[in-house]
Amino acid sequence: MQKIIPCLWFDSEAEDAANFYVSIFRNSKIKHIERYGEAASEASGMKKGNVMTVTFELNGNDFMALNGGPIFKFSEAISFMVECEDQEEMDYFYNGLSALPEAEQCGWIKDKFGLSWQLIPKDFDKLMKNTDPKKKEKVIAALMKMKRVNIDELELAAEGE
């Protein structure tokens, strides 16, 4: 059972965002939509009947999206890491999630709602835990030059090439 569930604050796009994320990630679904009732509407100033929260699942991980108004915005201070099996899967997520190509850097992307994601290869830890400091430095140097991560280039750097 998942004990920590991220809650994502949106102005009024919670349902659109949840549907978008569910369409991108396999094995995902909308679990529940809660609407503002009388008490919540009065307390928040949000319109009664509008979507208040959407609970959804992305590949086995639970999330909640909240329509809370324009008070808070996403920043790069938080992001979600997606471990990708191979370059094909990385490209799939780049193409599906990235809405601002100019914001892409070292695997970091921003989606159309302003949420930041990090796409990493499944063996990224192995590449970064290289015991040879010169090889590890080459991996980092290669990564820092990339907008979109290229797994083959990182592996070549890890081999010292």
Q: What angle do CA 117, 5, 109 make, to 5 degrees?
A: 5
In CATH terms, is domain 79-158 a member of 3.30.70.980?
Answer: no
Question: What band does 2 get if pLDDT is binned at 50, 70 and 90?
Answer: confident
Mean pLDDT (whole number) for 69-80: 95
- The three-state secondary structure class of 79 is strand
Q: What angle do CA 29, 32, 34 make, to 5 degrees?
A: 145
Mean pLDDT (whole number) for 28-51: 96
User: Average pLDDT of the chain?
Assistant: 93
pLDDT of 161 over the 70 cut: no
d(CA 37, CA 51): 10
Mean pLDDT (whole number) for 68-85: 95
CATH of 7-67, one of 3.30.720.100, 3.30.420.40, 3.40.50.740, 3.40.50.300: 3.30.720.100
Name the token pair of 10.
């949106």
Domain ranges of the chain: 7-67, 79-158
* E strand residue ranges, 36-151: 51-58, 61-67, 79-84, 108-110, 116-121
